[in-house]
A and B are shown apart, each in its own frame.
Chain A
Amino acid sequence: MNLSELLLSPFAYPFMFRALLAALIVSTVCAVIGSYVVLRGMAFFGDALAHTLLPGVALGYLLSGANREALFWWALGTSILASLGIGALTRSARLREDTAIGIVFAGMFALGIALISTVRSYAVDLSHFLFGDVLGVSEAALWRMAIFGGVVLLLVFLLYKEFLVISFDPVLAATLRLPTRHLENLFLILIAITVAVALQTVGVALMVAMLITPATTAYLLTHRLPAMMGLATIFAIFSSLIGLYLSYYLGIASGAAIVLVSTLLFAIVFLLRRNER
């Protein structure tokens, strides 16, 4: 087998080609939103949010049974509710923010596992939710991912300067009379959409890696936010591509393979840059 055959043959299968497109969409959206997640110190929030949608997806799974297409809408609905809910919880300062998030996220995750465990094919289905099933992405799912991912990217582009101000200096945002509360909530909704879009590709357990690992690697290499977003996208796409090859040729679970490549990239950049920052 020559090189071009080695590189092209996996994607001769339609399901592999769809997996590739899905991974590219998810990589791009996660890298861009993830740049803000990293800069605003919301890694734990992102992790918690992904886990919190399990009961919603589980409920959809129990109610709509074999219809996998409906699961996206359950994931999206739960994700938006959970995102705004956790956001409101962190604003009411009775508990420490990370404590409040931790309690809610573990509780919701347990509820999700409990719901799924009532079904006979429990182990297989649960692992799809936890670790993703990128090889099972349908054409309809691909279109939904492209449309919702596109909306997220468009809003990040259109509201670039506003999101930059609320992230860097909330007090300035207030003195400029920006609609800070609405922008914060919109930002939470964009994270929620991103998580729902990425769910089938990486699953809830590895979601946080898609959000923060490429963005952090990029952060180590640049001093401008647009460059950080661009580099993060390149790292994420590269990781997805190599991850899918590893998955195909070595039989490694695809989500895990993608995250491992991404982590390796981070480690290399971190070691190369450790003396400079």
Chain B
Amino acid sequence: MTMSSHPVHQLDQPLLDVRHLTVRYGESIALEDITFHLHAGERIAVVGPNGAGKSTLFKVIAGVIRPTAGEVRIYGSHPSHHVCIGYVPQRSQVEWRFPVTVEDVVMMGRVARIGLLRRPGREDRQRVRQALETVGLAEMADRPIQALSGGQQQRMFIARALAQEAELLLMDEPLNGLDIPSQESILALLDTLREQGVTLMVATHDLDQAARFFDRVMLLNRRLIGFGAPSDVFSQERLQRAYGGRLKIVQSENEQIALGDTCCQEPSFYEPF
């Protein structure tokens, strides 16, 4: 017994197709008339100032909140029946004192596939173990989640998405507040995910990382301001439109633009444990 029928993926359709998406919270508009699509295997950075609607966009794609207008299609059908969309929450939104182990959390990714009234079987345990090995947390499996460092917390959620067999992974600010080595280990893990065919959408504040590590970038500020190769999207004119005067733009000699968001970035040396 499964809880929902999982629709067949029409593979000639884009993995993700967003059309004229608008989301309003009461009077305020969070997203307005967003249209774009992604194909399987792509790696996209979503950038924009605080309040640009990045988290809202992810939640609509994940099927957690409904759009006010427009639609989201996953492989040609409505997202609400697909269990192939993984969501990695911002670390600050997780109750880290919850009495569960790393393995418990990763097993949560299997819950839909295990099905109602059933217990995890051999395949579920094997997938969880594999996922933990992929992210390098196999030895931490029995530890309480409270004991994890920031980078380990992030890797645990990636393992959960792997156990879920997610094909599209939405990550909300995964590098925020991590030290440089942890950031690098997460970025290396994103390469592994790509090898496994997982499509990635990553929200980030860091325009420099967005430009260096992602195929395409999406510049968002309620409206879609640009979507394409970083060198095209990060033009001075577009960045002005997205950030107004809050951005420091530095042009270096090989035309690789180095950028910093002067308003919202947390110091990257902060590591809570």
Contacts and interface: CB of A to CB of B under 8 A. Distances in A.
Contacts of A39: 95, 98-99
Given A175-B63, A175-B85, A175-B87, A168 B105 contact: yes
Contacts of B82: 177
Interface stretch (B32-40, B108-116, B178-186, B256-264): B108-116
B229 interface: no
Contacts of B83: 175-177
Contacts of B120: 161
Contacts, number: 80
B63 A174 contact: yes
Contacts of B105: 168
B117 A158 contact: yes
A171 B98 contact: no
Given A171-B87, A175-B83, A177-B83, A224 B101 contact: yes
Contacts of B109: 172, 176
B100 interface: yes
B99 A177 contact: no
A150 interface: no
B108 A172 contact: yes
A111 B62 CA distance: 45
B3 A178 contact: yes
A161 B100 CA distance: 12
Contacts of B107: 161
B134 interface: no
Nearest to A35: B99
Question: How many of chain A's residues touch chain B, expressed as a range?
Answer: 20 to 34
A168 B89 CA distance: 12
B41 interface: no
Contact of A171 (B59, B104, B112): B59
A165 interface: yes
Interface in A143-176: 158-159, 161-162, 164-165, 167-169, 171-172, 174-176
Which of B4, B83, B99 has the most chain A CB atoms closer than 10 A to its own CB? B99
A108 to B, nearest CB: 29
A74 interface: no
B146 interface: yes
Given A162-B111, A167-B98, A168-B100, 16 more contacts: A162-B116, A164-B100, A164-B108, A168-B95, A169-B108, A171-B89, A172-B108, A172-B160, A174-B63, A175-B62, A175-B164, A176-B164, A177-B83, A178-B3, A178-B111, A179-B3
B86 interface: yes
A222 interface: yes
B4 A171 contact: no
Contact of B99 (A158, A165, A176, A222): A222
B12 to A, nearest CB: 24
B98 A165 contact: no
A161 B98 CA distance: 14
Nearest to A226: B99
A177 B117 contact: no
A168 B98 contact: yes
Contact of A169 (B94, B112, B114): B94
27 contacts: A39-B98, A158-B117, A161-B114, A161-B120, A162-B116, A164-B108, A168-B98, A168-B108, A169-B89, A172-B87, A174-B62, A175-B62, A175-B63, A175-B64, A176-B83, A176-B112, A176-B164, A177-B63, A177-B112, A178-B111, A178-B112, A219-B99, A223-B101, A224-B99, A225-B99, A225-B104, A227-B99
B108 A161 contact: yes
Contacts of B62: 171, 174-175
A257 interface: no
A223 B146 contact: yes
Interface residues of B, number: 35
B4 to A, nearest CB: 5
Interface of A: 39, 158-159, 161-162, 164-165, 167-169, 171-172, 174-179, 219, 222-225, 227-228
B100 A224 contact: yes
A241 B54 CA distance: 55
B81 interface: yes
A187 B100 CA distance: 20
B76 interface: no
Nearest to A228: B99
A178 B81 CA distance: 10
A176 B113 CA distance: 9
Contacts of B101: 223-224
B130 interface: no
Nearest to B80: A177
A256 B10 CA distance: 64
B111 A161 contact: yes
A25 B45 CA distance: 54
Contact of B100 (A174, A179, A225): A225
A273 to B, nearest CB: 13
B88 to A, nearest CB: 10
Nearest to A227: B99
A178 to B, nearest CB: 6
B144 interface: yes
